[in-house]
């Protein structure tokens, strides 16, 4: 590869794209192509993805464990095994509903969705996930409304369970828990017996394991009459990691004898407080006849949990230590979960990889950043917003272990997260609301794709699913959205609709208006955009070169390129209505309202013409005025929503979404290889197919390279877990968005012209983890942010470091980040207290002043003042005219997928922050906020201002200088016309004082410390 790279270096132009004067002999071309393929065979990014060993795994010799590993139904335990569920015994398709999870204990206690099948049954079916979050093992994914329960036959309950109020029992679960919203008090993982609270005599015994979102802890409650509740058991993190979770209750009172274990380690930091009490009598399970064992919200009393479950075992005895350890060891091994003991001993894997490289380069790494720096970093990183002073204070003072982990969880649960990270993906998706070029045609539905992206990030939609939906949501989840005569919309339909919306990815590319005049050219432009963007965004390959000739450096032939075009040629863009059948009928019912507007306009125009060309009489002018008013009346009477409550777009336009749809077969145009990419030089006809070389790199089908039929197949192939590129490319993007630079700095180019990874093993390990955790992006955030590498100080350097590794590719410190345009906009408004957090909807246009506008006609300022301070992601993205602040601060060009934004430092940025009306207005609002929150006391105002803008206290010197500054500014002359009306309560201050405070606020917003995140 080095040879090839240096060759490129010598004069890339000539080699890459030379305009070959004469056609070289076919033979020569062929052999050089074969050479290229051979080289590509050993190229890093095309190699199969294998989990690399961790640096410290290599050194530590696996201690031949003498301890036994048992299956849950190991013979001595069989007798007590009351129920046993194993996800791998299910033969369901991915994402299929679980309508029954059969018991493997031999006692036939099968779990079923309880809704309408049990008295008080509430649980909807969960879904089967082929590669779940527990190291990629199959799992049952639980979420809102979902729950399973065991229905016991009424006639045989007498000898069903051996459980009495004072019995011992053991519960083991292989689970991956997601966090729950803080507002949900509790979620039930598992339970048996009667969940009803209260000391109602005669209730049977019960036991429940519950998750408490606010504290991310588990508790155990139950006992006879449900009258014992153990306090939260652990400070250890139990969410977002695969767990073998064990609960053992020994015979007798719960308090003294109940213990939790996480991955083999006892969790006993917290004293257990309550006692088992109640009746002398010890009722047993027989008092409940209909149901007995639950997962999730199987009954209306039980709240749901979110997460993946791979295996559950329930014993009617307290296992001994040796038994427990043997079963746990078996499960840990089976699911490749690290034991807590081992985890505590080793370095964070990311750090292990990073430290190894640093050690090789003989470079030290930076010390850890302070908590103050960390919370600011985490907030801007995950939310793109500053933390409130109160949050900073609480976090800095929180000395409990795992405070950092809890902060990360909290931020990932915020809806602001999707707005921040969705914006990153929009860069990749070359998102815009218009088509660009001279006419900049308006895509009125593009924002639905934007909202889809934000939602997908917030939902932590598995990335493979996210990709599949965008490439082929219409094919993979086909749905005519027909409601089959009901007002109730099936959740399934909503999901399918979401998948359909995702294909908007292809409907918002750049488009030349006039090329509509030349259908062939238009199609070529579109197919080029679709194929190139697919390559850059999902495969991290620049395919574009292969449009004109076989790729000069990567194993993509011209045939491959046009075969991909042929895949997309079977699709067409379409706008489909979002209303359901009733809504459409409502629209038709109310259509005369539109005719009324049209007629009112006609009346006006007619009268205008009739009386035009001369001086109108006063009566005529009045009549014309009257006609204008009727027009306005007609407009105002247009319904805003249909009778189903679905809002119309604009002027009673049925809301629609732009999507891809399969083209009618007879209309699919043939695709030819175009010589030198020129439209009129058609060569051989090609069929849809995967890129040959890459297809052979996956095990998709031994008979590959095969022809494929559709985008659906392409999407499935791209998201295969053995695809060498997809996971590597995405984890690299995630890394880049965290660190400012990817392990591969060329995020859209994993080919030979890209820059190879600084840490190839780390990249592969991350990619492997990504897939193993069900392509969960939030899991990657947790993984990355809990590393020491992420938590390093940025404030560190030395000559040696600078000389050896000026670009910090070895990660010897954290990179200081400058806020992007959107984040800057958000931060300014957030600090000023004016940020409007309303989500989604048609893009907004905050007012601009004349000097900022090159095209006034198409800038229609939003009329609701609340829309002027929405988050930056909601401001319209026109290809031909960018929002000035974003333009100045390196907004992507969005003609093609953007691999990473430039970070320029130019004078217009300084001018914007110093002089722009927004910057100044928000300084006024900031000053107003200070007055409101800190009163009319300069010291307190300064203190508050520092807290709000910089997330820290001023030091004594800064305090003094700030006070001096206020005095200096106050002593400056002012003029009466200096002020537009000031907001309350600022206007109550003496003008000179108000002006000084505004100036001080303006200066804070201009500080390097404000715009750079350490």
Taking CB under 8 A as the binding criterion, the range among 243-251, 398-406, 515-523, 572-580 that sits at the site for other proteins is 515-523
314 in Cβ contact with 83 (< 8 Å): yes
Dist CA 107 CA 111 (whole Å) = 12
Taking CB under 8 A as the binding criterion, the range among 14-22, 299-307, 324-332, 705-713 that sits at the site for other proteins is 14-22
In the complex, least distance from residue 800 CB atom to other proteins, rounded to whole angstroms? 11
Using the rule CB under 8 A, is 682 a contact of other proteins? no
Using CB under 8 A, pick the residue from 79, 598, 633, 961 that binds other proteins. Answer: 961
Label each residue of 844-899 as H, E or C: ECCCCCHHHCCCHHHCCCCCCHHHHHECHHHECCCCCCCCHHHHHCCCCCCCCCCC
Using the rule CB under 8 A, is 668 a contact of other proteins? no
In the complex, least distance from residue 617 CB atom to other proteins, rounded to whole angstroms? 36
Establish whether the linkage from the previous residue to 350 is cis, with ω within 30° of 0.
no
Question: Residue 468 or residue 928: which is nearer to other proteins going by CB?
Answer: 928
By rule CB under 8 A, what count of residues binds other proteins?
112
Dist CA 449 CA 423 (whole Å) = 12
774 in Cβ contact with 94 (< 8 Å): no
Which string of b and e fits 173-188 if b means at least 16 CB within 10 Å? bbbbbbbbeeebebbb
Question: Residue 390 or residue 980: which is nearer to other proteins going by CB?
Answer: 980
Dist CA 364 CA 368 (whole Å) = 12
Using the rule CB under 8 A, is 797 a contact of other proteins? yes
Taking CB under 8 A as the binding criterion, the range among 160-168, 349-357, 450-458, 541-549 that sits at the site for other proteins is 541-549
CA distances from 799 to 211, 379, 806 (A): 51, 31, 9
Please give the residues from 570 up to 609 whose contact with other proteins meets the rule CB under 8 A: none
Question: Residue 402 or residue 979: which is nearer to other proteins going by CB?
Answer: 979
Dist CA 245 CA 263 (whole Å) = 6
Question: Residue 12 or residue 199: which is nearer to other proteins going by CB?
Answer: 12
In the complex, least distance from residue 996 CB atom to other proteins, rounded to whole angstroms? 9
In the complex, least distance from residue 815 CB atom to other proteins, rounded to whole angstroms? 6
CA 936 to chain centre: 43
539 DSSP 8-state letter: I
Using the rule CB under 8 A, is 1 a contact of other proteins? no
Using CB under 8 A, pick the residue from 536, 571, 834, 941 that binds other proteins. Answer: 536
Question: Residue 347 or residue 916: which is nearer to other proteins going by CB?
Answer: 916
Taking CB under 8 A as the binding criterion, the range among 189-197, 207-215, 224-232, 880-888 that sits at the site for other proteins is 880-888
Taking CB under 8 A as the binding criterion, the range among 65-73, 308-316, 476-484, 814-822 that sits at the site for other proteins is 814-822
CA 733 to chain centre: 12
In the complex, least distance from residue 1014 CB atom to other proteins, rounded to whole angstroms? 8
CA 282 to chain centre: 50
Which SS3 state, helix, strand or coil, does residue 287 take? helix
Using CB under 8 A, pick the residue from 183, 905, 981, 990 that binds other proteins. Answer: 905
Using the rule CB under 8 A, is 1009 a contact of other proteins? yes
Question: Residue 250 or residue 801: which is nearer to other proteins going by CB?
Answer: 801
Using the rule CB under 8 A, is 899 a contact of other proteins? yes
Question: Residue 269 or residue 800: which is nearer to other proteins going by CB?
Answer: 800
**How many Cβ atoms sit within 10 Å of the Cβ of residue 238?**
22
Taking CB under 8 A as the binding criterion, the range among 11-19, 555-563, 572-580, 759-767 that sits at the site for other proteins is 11-19
Using CB under 8 A, pick the residue from 113, 242, 349, 999 that binds other proteins. Answer: 999
> What's the maximum distance between 2 C-alpha atoms anywhere in the chain?
107
Q: Closest by alpha carbon to 415, among 454, 373, 362?
A: 454
Question: Residue 37 or residue 483: which is nearer to other proteins going by CB?
Answer: 37
Taking CB under 8 A as the binding criterion, the range among 93-101, 177-185, 321-329, 967-975 that sits at the site for other proteins is 967-975
Dist CA 309 CA 353 (whole Å) = 30
Dist CA 514 CA 512 (whole Å) = 6
Dist CA 202 CA 28 (whole Å) = 90
Which SS3 state, helix, strand or coil, does residue 618 take? helix
> Residue 662: is it exposed, middle or buried by C-beta count within 10 angstroms (0-12/13-18/19+)?
middle
Please give the residues from 421 up to 450 whose contact with other proteins meets the rule CB under 8 A: 436-440
In the complex, least distance from residue 409 CB atom to other proteins, rounded to whole angstroms? 29
In the complex, least distance from residue 751 CB atom to other proteins, rounded to whole angstroms? 6
Taking CB under 8 A as the binding criterion, the range among 26-34, 300-308, 463-471, 879-887 that sits at the site for other proteins is 879-887
Using CB under 8 A, pick the residue from 808, 922, 928, 943 that binds other proteins. Answer: 808
The mark string for 45-74 relative to other proteins (x by CB under 8 A, - otherwise) is ------------------------------
716 in Cβ contact with 694 (< 8 Å): no
Using the rule CB under 8 A, is 960 a contact of other proteins? no
Dist CA 869 CA 177 (whole Å) = 36
Using the rule CB under 8 A, is 997 a contact of other proteins? no
Taking CB under 8 A as the binding criterion, the range among 181-189, 214-222, 594-602, 890-898 that sits at the site for other proteins is 890-898
Taking CB under 8 A as the binding criterion, the range among 52-60, 225-233, 344-352, 998-1006 that sits at the site for other proteins is 998-1006
Using CB under 8 A, pick the residue from 36, 237, 249, 818 that binds other proteins. Answer: 818
Q: Closest by alpha carbon to 310, among 257, 366, 245, 238?
A: 245
Helix crossing, 938-950 with 389-397: angle to 10°? 80
In the complex, least distance from residue 662 CB atom to other proteins, rounded to whole angstroms? 28
Dist CA 768 CA 731 (whole Å) = 9
**Tokens coding 392:** 């900073």
Contacts of 763 (CB under 8 A, 6+ apart): 728, 731, 732, 735, 743, 744, 757
Using CB under 8 A, pick the residue from 69, 184, 289, 815 that binds other proteins. Answer: 815
In the complex, least distance from residue 979 CB atom to other proteins, rounded to whole angstroms? 6
Using the rule CB under 8 A, is 914 a contact of other proteins? yes
In the complex, least distance from residue 19 CB atom to other proteins, rounded to whole angstroms? 5
CA distances from 979 to 685, 976, 991, 998 (A): 70, 7, 9, 11
In the complex, least distance from residue 548 CB atom to other proteins, rounded to whole angstroms? 8
In the complex, least distance from residue 29 CB atom to other proteins, rounded to whole angstroms? 17
Using the rule CB under 8 A, is 1008 a contact of other proteins? yes
Task: Rounding to the nearest 10 degrees, give the CA dihedral for residues 864, 867, 868, 873.
Answer: -160
In the complex, least distance from residue 559 CB atom to other proteins, rounded to whole angstroms? 20
Which SS3 state, helix, strand or coil, does residue 248 take? strand
In the complex, least distance from residue 814 CB atom to other proteins, rounded to whole angstroms? 12
Using CB under 8 A, pick the residue from 589, 910, 937, 988 that binds other proteins. Answer: 910
Kindly state the helix (H) or strand (E) to which residue 4 belongs, with its residue range. helix 2-10
Using CB under 8 A, pick the residue from 900, 922, 945, 949 that binds other proteins. Answer: 900
Q: DSSP string spanning 799-857?
A: HHHHHH-TT-TT-SSPPPEEPPHHHHHHHHHHHHT--B----SSPB-----GGG-S-GG
Using the rule CB under 8 A, is 821 a contact of other proteins? no
Taking CB under 8 A as the binding criterion, the range among 91-99, 328-336, 446-454, 750-758 that sits at the site for other proteins is 750-758
């Amino acid at each position: 590869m080095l040879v090839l790279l240096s060759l490129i270096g010598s004069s890339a132009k000539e080699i890459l794209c030379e305009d070959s004067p004469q056609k070289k002999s076919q033979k020569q071309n062929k052999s050089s192509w074969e050479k290229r393929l051979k080289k590509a065979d050993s190229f890093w990014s095309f190699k199969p993805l294998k989990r690399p060993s961790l640096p410290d795994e290599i050194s530590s010799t696996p201690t031949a464990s003498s301890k036994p590993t048992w299956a849950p139904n190991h013979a001595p335990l069989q007798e007590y095994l009351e129920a046993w569920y194993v996800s791998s015994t299910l033969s369901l398709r991915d994402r299929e509903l679980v309508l029954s999870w059969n018991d493997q204990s031999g006692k036939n206690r099968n779990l079923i969705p309880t809704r309408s099948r049990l008295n008080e049954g509430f649980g909807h079916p969960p879904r089967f996930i082929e590669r779940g979050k527990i190291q990629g093992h199959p799992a049952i994914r639980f979420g809102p409304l979902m729950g399973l329960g065991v229905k016991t036959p009424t006639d045989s309950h007498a000898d069903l369970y051996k459980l009495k109020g004072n019995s011992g029992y053991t519960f083991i679960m292989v689970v991956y828990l997601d966090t729950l919203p803080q507002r949900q008090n509790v979620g039930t993982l598992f339970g048996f017996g009667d969940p009803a609270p209260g000391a109602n005599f005669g209730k049977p015994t019960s036991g429940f394991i519950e998750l408490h979102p606010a504290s991310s802890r588990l508790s155990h409650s139950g006992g006879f009459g449900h009258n014992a509740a153990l306090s939260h058991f652990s400070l250890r993190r139990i969410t977002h990691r695969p767990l073998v979770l064990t609960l053992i209750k020994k015979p007798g009172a719960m308090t003294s004898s109940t213990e939790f274990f996480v991955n083999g380690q006892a969790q006993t930091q917290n004293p257990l407080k309550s006692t088992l009490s109640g009746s002398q009598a010890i009722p047993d399970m027989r008092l409940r006849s209909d149901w007995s064992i639950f997962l999730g919200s199987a009954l209306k009393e039980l709240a749901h949990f979110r997460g993946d479950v791979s295996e559950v075992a329930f014993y009617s005895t307290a296992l001994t230590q040796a038994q427990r350890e043997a079963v746990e060891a078996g499960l840990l091994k089976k699911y490749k979960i690290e034991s807590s003991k081992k985890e505590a001993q080793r370095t964070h894997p990311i750090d292990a990889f990073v430290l190894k490289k640093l050690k090789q380069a003989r470079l030290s790494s930076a010390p850890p950043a302070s908590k103050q720096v960390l919370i600011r970093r985490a907030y801007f990183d995950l939310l793109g917003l500053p933390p409130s002073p109160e949050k900073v204070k609480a976090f800095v003072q929180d000395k409990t272990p795992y405070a950092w982990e809890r902060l990360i969880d909290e931020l990932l649960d915020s809806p602001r997260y999707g707005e921040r990270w969705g914006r990153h993906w929009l860069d990749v998706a070359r998102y815009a609301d218009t088509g660009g070029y001279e006419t900049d045609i308006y895509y009125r539905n593009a924002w639905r794709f934007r909202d889809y992206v934000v939602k997908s990030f917030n939902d932590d939609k598995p990335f493979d699913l996210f990709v599949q939906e965008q490439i082929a949501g219409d094919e993979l989840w086909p749905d005519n959205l027909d409601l089959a005569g009901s007002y109730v919309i099936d959740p399934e339909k909503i999901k399918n609709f979401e998948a359909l919306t995702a294909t908007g990815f292809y409907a918002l590319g750049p488009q030349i208006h006039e090329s509509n005049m030349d259908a062939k050219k238009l199609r070529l432009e579109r197919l080029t955009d679709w194929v190139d963007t697919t390559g850059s965004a999902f495969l991290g390959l620049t395919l574009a070169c292969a449009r004109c000739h076989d790729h000069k450096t990567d194993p993509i032939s011209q045939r491959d390129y046009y075969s991909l075009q042929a895949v997309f040629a079977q699709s067409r863009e379409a706008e489909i209505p979002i209303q359901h059948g009733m809504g459409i009928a409502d629209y038709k019912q109310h259509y005369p309202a539109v005719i009324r507007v049209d007629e009112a306009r006609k009346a006006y125009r007619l009268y205008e013409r009739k009386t035009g060309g001369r001086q109108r009489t006063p009566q005529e002018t009045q009549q014309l005025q009257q006609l204008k008013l009727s027009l306005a009346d007609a407009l105002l009477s247009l319904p805003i929503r249909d009778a189903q409550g679905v809002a119309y777009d604009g002027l009673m336009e049925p809301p629609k979404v732009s999507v891809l749809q399969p083209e009618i077969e007879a209309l699919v145009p043939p695709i030819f290889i175009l010589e030198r990419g020129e439209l009129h030089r058609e060569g051989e006809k090609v069929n849809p197919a995967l890129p040959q070389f890459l297809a052979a790199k996956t095990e998709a089908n031994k008979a590959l390279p095969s022809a494929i039929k559709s985008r659906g197949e392409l999407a499935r192939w791209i998201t295969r877990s053995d695809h060498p590129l997809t996971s590597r490319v995405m984890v690299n993007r995630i890394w880049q968005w965290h660190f400012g630079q990817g392990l591969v700095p060329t995020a859209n180019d994993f080919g030979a012209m890209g820059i190879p990874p600084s840490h190839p093993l780390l990249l592969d390990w991350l990619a492997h983890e990504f897939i193993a955790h069900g392509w969960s992006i939030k899991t990657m955030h947790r993984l990355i942010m809990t590393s020491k590498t992420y938590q390093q100080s940025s404030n560190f350097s030395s000559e040696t470091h600078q000389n050896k590794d000026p670009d910090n590719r070895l990660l010897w410190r954290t990179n200081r980040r400058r806020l992007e345009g959107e984040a800057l906009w958000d931060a300014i408004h957030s600090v000023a207290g004016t940020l409007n957090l309303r989500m989604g909807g048609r893009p907004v246009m905050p007012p601009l002043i004349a000097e900022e506008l090159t095209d006034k006609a198409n800038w229609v300022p939003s009329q609701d003042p609340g829309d002027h301070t929405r988050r930056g992601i909601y401001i319209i993205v026109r290809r031909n005219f960018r929002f000035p602040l974003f333009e100045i601060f390196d907004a992507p060009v969005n003609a093609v997928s953007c691999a990473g934004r430039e970070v320029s430092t130019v004078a217009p940025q300084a001018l914007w922050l110093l002089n722009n009306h927004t910057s100044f207005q928000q300084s006024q609002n900031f000053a107003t906020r200070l007055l409101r929150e800190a009163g009319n006391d300069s010291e307190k105002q300064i203190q508050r201002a520092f807290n709000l803008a910089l997330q820290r206290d001023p030091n004594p010197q800064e305090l003094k200088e700030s006070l001096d500054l206020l005095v200096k500014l106050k002593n400056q002359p002012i003029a009466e016309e200096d002020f537009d009306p000031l907001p309350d309560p600022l206007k109550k201050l003496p003008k000179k004082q108000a002006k000084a405070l505004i100036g001080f606020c303006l200066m804070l917003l201009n500080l390097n410390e404000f715009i750079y995140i350490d």
